[in-house]
Amino acid sequence: MLEVHGLSKTFGGLAALKDLSFSVQPGQIVGLIGPNGAGKTTAFNLISGTLPPSAGTVRFKGHDITGGPPSRVVKLGLARTFQNTSIYPKATVAQNVYRGALARLGTSLPNQLFSDGATRTALARLHEQVDEVLTLLGLASQRDALAGNLSYGHQKRLGVAIGLATQPEMLLLDEPAAGLNPEESAAFGELLRSLRTQRQLTLLLVEHHMALVMGLCEHIVVLVQGQKIAEGTPQAVRDNPQVIEAYLGAPEEFHA
Ligand SMILES: Nc1ncnc2c1ncn2[C@@H]1O[C@H](COP(=O)(O)OP(=O)(O)OP(=O)(O)O)[C@@H](O)[C@H]1O
């Protein structure tokens, strides 16, 4: 589904990401972990086409998507959410989700306003998709609420809803559980697992909540200072001495 090969990014003199390679199989849930500044968000930006890499390639379903643009990447079926939920607080929950749905539709605004038959059919389908996504994320009863009035946990859900509304086959989630308490984080993990099944999604997530990562992901890639130091199953990564030293700490301190 996704093949990252030799991906590097330099900002000025700083190598934020060095020669990163890994792949994600269809239907897998893969975690990208590492300490602050390890290059995780940079990797997401390069994969989603938000930033051009200094070197390396990204292939999604066999298409070369290196360097984006993000609109093409989304249309191919690869969507992302952002670390700080990028919602419009003064728009309603439903209006926020429409943004995502329209990104995939790719219809220009004049076409949406002065619509021909084909556009009208596409828009009718789009209304259904927005309703489906709101229901899936448990936000249907709040569809007309202002997004800025949602609880923090629901705002995180809305971020996922906006990504899902683009009808992706793969979703990149940047710290989906940041700021959630352990119970909310566990519930979020269950939600992601059920979304994977219901939508046949492939998921790649950056996350610091280790309990969530270890419980949810089937494969984990560990970055430290821009470099991949390990990858494998949660168990293999948890037991890897280099990972323990650089990131996780001693096993007895690590509550997965
Ligand atoms: N646009 C930019 N310009 C200059 N330096 C940048 C830029 N974006 C990231 N960096 C630097 O690249 C390095 C990797 O940052 P990145 O945000 O990718 O790390 P991260 O693993 O996502 O960290 P965190 O867990 O704190 O979000 C850091 O040293 C950061 O300061």
pLDDT at 227 over 50: yes
pLDDT at 250 over 60: no
pLDDT in tens, 52-86: 999 999 999 999 999 889 889 999 999 988 766 67
The one-character DSSP state at 130 is H
pLDDT in tens, 84-110: 667 888 999 999 998 777 776 655 555
Q: Is 21 left (phi over 0), alpha (psi -120 to 50) or beta?
A: beta
Domain at 86-168, CATH from 3.40.50.10860, 3.40.50.300, 2.60.40.1930, 3.40.718.10: 3.40.50.300
Ligand 1 centroid to Cα of residue 41, in Å, is: 7
47 lines ligand 1 (CB under 6 A): no
37 lines ligand 1 (CB under 6 A): yes
Q: Taking CA 217 as the corner, what is the angle to CA 62 and CA 30, rounded to the nearest 5 degrees?
A: 25
Higher pLDDT, 152 or 249: 152
Residue 204 forms beta bridges with which residues?
Answer: 30, 172
Side chain identity, residue 115: S
Ligand 1 centroid to Cα of residue 122, in Å, is: 39
C-alpha–C-alpha distance, residues 160 and 138, integer Å: 11
45 lines ligand 1 (CB under 6 A): no
Of 219, 205, 202, 207, the C-alpha closest to 78 is 202
With a threshold of 0.95, tell me whether the complex ipTM lies above it. no
Are 238 and 224 contacting, i.e. CB atoms less than 8 angstroms apart?
no
Ligand 1 centroid to Cα of residue 35, in Å, is: 11
Lowest mean pLDDT among 36-45, 113-122, 153-162: 113-122
Q: What is the pLDDT of residue 108?
A: 59
State the alpha helices, DSSP H only, in the chain. 40-47, 70-76, 93-105, 109-113, 117-136, 152-164, 182-199, 210-216, 234-239, 241-243
Q: β-strands 78-80, 170-174: how paired?
A: parallel
Q: What is the pLDDT of residue 6?
A: 97
Nearest residue by C-alpha to atom 12 in ligand 1: 16
Ligand 1 centroid to Cα of residue 186, in Å, is: 27
9 lines ligand 1 (CB under 6 A): no
Are 9 and 67 contacting, i.e. CB atoms less than 8 angstroms apart?
no
C-alpha–C-alpha distance, residues 61 and 67, integer Å: 16
pLDDT at 122 over 90: no
pLDDT at 252 over 50: no
Helices and strands: H and E segment counts in the chain: 10, 10
pLDDT band at residue 120 under the 50/70/90 scheme: confident
Higher pLDDT, 121 or 172: 172
Nearest residue by C-alpha to atom 9 in ligand 1: 42
pLDDT band at residue 256 under the 50/70/90 scheme: very low
- Global pTM reads 0.87
Q: What is the pLDDT of residue 24?
A: 98
pLDDT at 134 over 90: yes
Q: What is the pLDDT of residue 254?
A: 46
For the residues 125-133, what does the mean pLDDT come to?
Answer: 86
**Sign of the torsion formed by the C-alpha atoms of 169, 172, 211 and 35:** positive
- List the domain boundaries for the chain: 1-26+33-77+214-228+246-256, 86-168
The reply to whether 1-26+33-77+214-228+246-256 and 86-168 are identical in fold is yes
Q: In the CATH scheme, what architecture does the domain 1-26+33-77+214-228+246-256 have?
A: 3-Layer(aba) Sandwich (3.40)
13 lines ligand 1 (CB under 6 A): no
197 lines ligand 1 (CB under 6 A): no
Ligand 1 centroid to Cα of residue 75, in Å, is: 27
